[in-house]
Structure 1
Amino acid sequence: MNAQVSPLVSFQQVSKRFAVSDGDVEALRDFNLDIREGEFVAIVGASGCGKSTLLRLLIGLDTDYQGRILIDGEAVNGIGSERGIVFQEHRLFPWLTVAENIDLGLVNEGLDREQRQRRVSNFIALVGLEDCARAYPHQLSGGMAQRVAIARGLVASPRILLLDEPFGALDALTRQQMQDELLAIRARARITTLLVTHDVEEAIFLADRVVVLEPRPGRIKRVVEIDLPHPRQRGSLGFHRLRETLLHELTHDDRYLPPAVARISDLPLTYLAC
């Protein structure tokens, strides 16, 4: 009998409160989640349900909470190079080039100049920006700038990549293109990934599992396995059923009940074309 594989990341009874002028706000309550190495997990929920707070706790920016967060069985105690993060806005320094912005991710790695240059060049190639290494952020499109941010988050070879609404500021077409890019990057640099997003379709398209949070205080309402094969087809019946399931969990609106099994003759033309 195979021994059970220990999770890479483990949230155990995690609760978090914030002090405000008229009392405390409970952001998270008894949050429990294990994430396997190499897994892509997405967290969805309403604004204010604690999604981004979870990332801040895991990255080590906030250590004032109850419960435990473990990486490989060791408690998280501040920031560390085994975790990289990409935010909704790229946060590139406008006076630095693409290569220089990515190089910032290596500040604490103890590499010499040649090693850093080689690592930066490799990750510029990974995100497909070889022709833009000397460009400045104002010369890039939104999608290109976000690819630089992803490269900066990956350049130190972290084991865990945290994504905080990374494509939320992009237009719809660029957003879909960047989702494709992210999957391609992960195929080349296999890495455990935790994404928080408001976009249910994005979560289904990218993730192995989707965690639905209750409104504040954030608690797990449901975990949905996404068993669709890659490349995923957004117009497929399976994708649509998962979308409706998750929207119903989030809104409690019966308009989003997953469709019952129907005869082929009853299916909309969009289904018949899948």
Structure 2
Amino acid sequence: MFQTRLQEAATAVEAHLLQVMAPMGDLPVVEAMRYATARGKRLRAFLVLESARLHGIDAAQAIWPATAIEAMHAYSLVHDDLPCMDDDDMRRGLPTVHVKWDYATAVLAGDALQTLAFECAAHTEVSDSAEVRADLALSLARAAGAQGMVLGQALDMAAETSDVPLTLEEITALQAGKTGALFAWSATAGARMAGADTAPLKAYADALGLAFQIWDDVLDIEGDAEKVGKTLGKDEKAGKATFVSLLGMDAAKSRARDLVESCASALDPYGSDADTLRDAARFVIARDS
């Protein structure tokens, strides 16, 4: 069921992204936006759509915040790949945006994807309630900005130039921003749209985001570069602290498994209706990309 719904989410969001970008024409920056948002697992969009389903929100409404989070995520990857940050040439098995086009186009495409995310989150078709739309946009700004994802990225960059390796507590806080904040927004979007309690899904997403990052660290060492779709081993070569370097491979995998169990427990208020989300957590530590 999970794989089916994940694929359905991916198909729906890819079609919707193309639809919302269709009026923008075919300038290089727009083509770069389409390129950056193509492919991918769409796990964040899936979380939006599933949380909406749990709260009885129509899929035609939920597709807008689902599209918003994928645009925001794509922007973060485009900028993260730039030479001034992670300096990656490959993403999802293809040349990164700044390699395929140029530095300026990549910066502008990322900027435009970020603003598109807010446009989608605040779109009138999301809800008849202006308060709901405003809450989605406000919470997305906080999750993506200097209280969330950007904070995590800034801490990550600072760690690269520091002679003192990060502690486990520090790297956990870093990843809570860099990866976890957008997961949390995604998983709680449906509850926000319904005016319901976000706490259970927030707890689920916090554990999910951390498990996801731990598994990324595992794949950086044990993964197949062709399947992962990007350069592997960069953190190890740079001497960066990761969950694997701090805990060891076996303990890191064990920690990820424990977090998946925490995900399942957090969903107890939803009973069997949340089984697909439980399967999503198991997928996070079973994936090869």
TM-score where L is the length of structure 2: 0.30
Higher helix share: 2
Q: Which fold has the larger relative contact order, with Cα–Cα distance below 8 Å and residues 6 or more apart in sequence?
A: 1
Higher strand share: 1
Structure whose CA Rg is larger: 1
TM-score where L is the length of structure 1: 0.31
